[in-house]
Amino acid sequence: MKIAVVGATGLVGREMLKVLGERKLNPSLFIPVASPKSIGQPIEFDGGTYRVVDHQKALELRPEIAIFSAGAAVSREWAPKYVAAGATVIDNSSAWRMDPAIPLIVPEINAGILTRRDKIISNPNCSTIQMVLVLAPIHRKYKIKRIVVSTYQSVTGTGAKAVKQLENERKGVKGEMAYPHPIDLNLFPHGGDFLPNGYTSEEIKLEKETQKILADPSIRITATIVRVPVFGGHSEAVNLEFERNYDLGDIYRILSETQGVIVRDDPSKNIYPMPLDSRGKDEVFVGRIRRDESNINSLNLFIVADNLRKGAATNAIQIAQYLIANDLV
């Protein structure tokens, strides 16, 4: 299988290379693609050294799978060209997520809807992936009516420029700013672009993507995105309201049996999910599982995952694995 990674030099792109190597997809040809300024740059992958190429060269090599992590504008322009050259595109940007003709996939939840006709497949937003992986099995049993979520998102979710800003501030060095405010010893309720309704684009993504993945537009969702001075790992405080009463022990059982989810919940021993524990891991961690005593049929959860791994790279590679295993490429 010839596999191209578009955006191979970025934070997520480099994480994709790690996951590709770890999961032993062993492409017959690996094609790293990046912006013109990176052409010719050496890339280490799976024990070998490769040179970054441009889109035209990649298209000439005719990859069978192209995994994009280069932003929505690049995806809109180039994904159809890769499809025309015979590739199936797995796209990590927001470009195609809400297109009704494009599947939005978290493999553990809805990979079964994929067919050979799906030539562009969308990878959800990192915050959405970790939340729906926990919520999907609970929703199937108890039907969620409403979700209130506040996220606490790492600077790695913004990119290398934001990581550098935090590093500079910790060292007392003046440098280029990715954010409108200092992030070290600070946090701010701002992720994405502000919209006329007062929400941000990241908050609306959480709403719309969750409804699409769970195939239930009736779920009411409200979100607040907070950026925090953490180098890796997104956290979410989630409040769920169900249609009917639930058994708390059953919630623990369901989550303990869910593929890709690890329950870390023993407050008496100070055990609960934290970004530090999620770094470099593919699982989603959930804890602080407790009944909301202020509202009937409601539940509180705290969900943490490495946003570069399951929140982006790992989910995309899992999609590729599913396509290959099920002869859908």
| pLDDT per residue as tens digits for the range 15-39 | 999 999 999 998 999 999 999 999 9
Res 145: pLDDT: 98
Residues spanned by the domain of 132: 127-307
Res 37: pLDDT: 93
Alpha carbon separation from 216 to 2, 163, 204, 212 (Å, rounded): 36, 36, 16, 7
| Same domain (yes/no): 136, 263 | yes
| Same domain (yes/no): 172, 268 | yes
Phi and psi for 262 in degrees, rounded to 5? -120, 125
Count of domains for the chain: 2
| Same domain (yes/no): 222, 316 | no
The residues that bridge with 266 in the sheet, in sequence order, are: 271
Using CA atoms, how far apart are residues 315 and 148, in angstroms rounded to an integer? 24
Stretches in the chain below the pLDDT threshold 50: none
CATH of the domain at 109: 3.40.50.720
| Same domain (yes/no): 136, 81 | no
| Same domain (yes/no): 204, 291 | yes
CATH of the domain at 235: 3.30.360.10
Res 207: pLDDT: 97
| Same domain (yes/no): 150, 21 | no
| Same domain (yes/no): 150, 118 | no
H or E element that contains 48: strand 48-51
C-alpha neighbours within 13 Å on the C-beta side of residue 50? 24
| Same domain (yes/no): 226, 288 | yes
Which residues, other chains included, contact 12 with Cβ-Cβ below 8 Å and sequence gap of 6+?
69, 92, 308, 312, 313
**304, 305, 306, 310 alpha-carbon torsion, rounded to 10°:** -170
| Same domain (yes/no): 280, 224 | yes
| Same domain (yes/no): 188, 299 | yes
Residues noted as catalytic: 126, 234
| Same domain (yes/no): 258, 206 | yes
